[in-house]
Homo-oligomer: A and B are copies of this chain.
Amino acid sequence: MTHAIDRIRPLDAAAQEHVHALYRHLHAHPELSMQEHATADFIAAELDALGVENFRCGGTGVVGILRNGEGPVVAFRADTDGLPIAEDTGLDYASTATGTLADGTEVPVMHGCGHDTHVAALLAAARMLDASRDGWAGTIVLLFQPGEETAAGARAMVDDGLWDRAPRPEAVLGQHVMPLRAGTIAISSGTAMAMADALRVTVRGKQSHGSQPQHAIDPIVLASSIVTRLQTIVSRELDPMDPAVVTVGTFHAGLKENIIPDRAEFTLNIRTLTPPVREQVLAAVERIVKAEAAAAAAPEPTIEKLYDFPENYNDPAAAARVTTALEHAIGAENVNATGPLMGSEDFGHLGSAIGVPTVYWMFGGFDRDEDVPMNHSPFFGPVPEPTLTTAARAAVAGVLAWVGSDDEEATA
């Protein structure tokens, strides 16, 4: 039997070197979320060079449309943004780029989450699919999405009319490089990644001189009580079978050791796997924050939402279809089932916004299993091969599960 993937010719040496050059360029020139201007230009130039119709969407997003006659439509997404991290990989193509945060601070920027591999792999996949148009039929929408790290990009593209401007797909696919062995893939059925909610809490106390607590309402003691009490949400309120994380990632209060300040501010990052647990945790956070303020005789604190990452749910039927295709493409022994990850992604929104299934998987990027730097580490430097070839082949196999066909007679 011939599998759809067998009809797609691999890249020749020159094309492969071109992809590697692309990758090294991307790695060396990361840009902060929603500021991926040069990256967008770079991607568009490559699509232009391939003759793939493309347009900007959601600011620094790029949409390429690879049309190949009648047939299903499927979309594949690569995210494009870097992170405010000073790269310390020692690679000769390491980033020395800088960027400017919203508050005006200039910071080093790094592809510390490996989105450069996503872009390079999708461009390589486009090149392969373009070069083997006889092997498939339909339309492939290439989504180069900005601002994944800030949960802004998927919404920005959808809000910018993505699915009015591009053909509506039957499914949206995506993938992410992970600290797994290069050449392998991990895919789940059902929840792929956690939802994330970020909140900012401002507790207000009453300022006084440090020697006069009787005239103060101490916001540091109050916020510390809240942090301590928030631990009970995961430890006592949730079903132990429902994984969840409530992290207080920042806590800032006070300017001088001898002044009890008038406020404290902290931010929360909350991870949950299902909407009911998400609602339960958010309600518990609000309940505890307010009640602890009442215990301190303090005014009701302010709770602001900073952002939220949506569900990233692998539709089981679509996931099964992709899994079969991946097993053919890279060998069943290299495709592992996995459960949900506590990390988050805004990928799901690209499908849920129009009610189509999404499938998302992880591909390895390292030549070893242990002591691998995690994503967001200054040491996160995937090995280019077999990382890129695997990821490109996985992307091709994924889309072919819609626009290709396995053919029993073909071998005849």
Query: Measuring CB to CB, which residues of chain A are less than 8 angstroms from any residue of chain B?
Result: 194, 196, 198-200, 208-216, 218, 220-221, 223-225, 227-261, 264, 266-269, 271, 284, 287-288, 290-292, 294-297, 306, 339-344, 374-376
Instruction: State whether B196 touches A258 (Cβ < 8 A).
Output: yes
B210, B220, B231, B237: the one contacting A245 at CB < 8 Å is B210
B232, B240, B242, B256: the one contacting A249 at CB < 8 Å is B256
Q: A287 contacts which chain B residues (CB < 8 A)?
A: 294-295, 297
Q: A236 contacts which chain B residues (CB < 8 A)?
A: 213, 216, 218, 221, 231
Taken together as a complex, chains A and B put the C-alpha atoms of A186 and B236 apart, in Å, by 26
Q: A214 contacts which chain B residues (CB < 8 A)?
A: 237-240, 242
Instruction: State whether B251 touches A244 (Cβ < 8 A).
Output: no
Q: A243 contacts which chain B residues (CB < 8 A)?
A: 240-241, 243
Instruction: State whether B245 touches A213 (Cβ < 8 A).
Output: yes
Taken together as a complex, chains A and B put the C-alpha atoms of A294 and B296 apart, in Å, by 13
Taken together as a complex, chains A and B put the C-alpha atoms of A223 and B342 apart, in Å, by 25
- Report the nearest B residue to A193, measured CB to CB: B211
- Report the nearest B residue to A227, measured CB to CB: B224
Q: A252 contacts which chain B residues (CB < 8 A)?
A: 251-254
Instruction: State whether B251 touches A257 (Cβ < 8 A).
Output: no
B209, B228, B244: the one contacting A374 at CB < 8 Å is B209
Interface-centre pick from A198, A248, A260 (highest chain B CB count, 10 A): A248
Tell me the minimal C-beta distance from A213 to chain B in angstroms: 5
Taken together as a complex, chains A and B put the C-alpha atoms of A208 and B291 apart, in Å, by 24
- Report the nearest B residue to A255, measured CB to CB: B250
- Report the nearest B residue to A248, measured CB to CB: B220
Taken together as a complex, chains A and B put the C-alpha atoms of A370 and B245 apart, in Å, by 29
Q: A241 contacts which chain B residues (CB < 8 A)?
A: 243, 339-340, 342
Q: A224 contacts which chain B residues (CB < 8 A)?
A: 223-225, 227-228, 251
Tell me the minimal C-beta distance from A311 to chain B in angstroms: 15
B198, B216, B220, B232: the one contacting A221 at CB < 8 Å is B232
Q: A235 contacts which chain B residues (CB < 8 A)?
A: 213, 230-235, 246
Given contacts A213-B245, A224-B228, contact A268 B264 (CB under 8 A): no
B196, B228, B245: the one contacting A228 at CB < 8 Å is B228
Tell me the minimal C-beta distance from A273 to chain B in angstroms: 9
Taken together as a complex, chains A and B put the C-alpha atoms of A257 and B285 apart, in Å, by 15
Tell me the minimal C-beta distance from A57 to chain B in angstroms: 26
Taken together as a complex, chains A and B put the C-alpha atoms of A344 and B212 apart, in Å, by 12
Q: A216 contacts which chain B residues (CB < 8 A)?
A: 236
Tell me the minimal C-beta distance from A251 to chain B in angstroms: 5
Tell me the minimal C-beta distance from A321 to chain B in angstroms: 22
Given contacts A234-B234, A291-B291, contact A267 B257 (CB under 8 A): yes
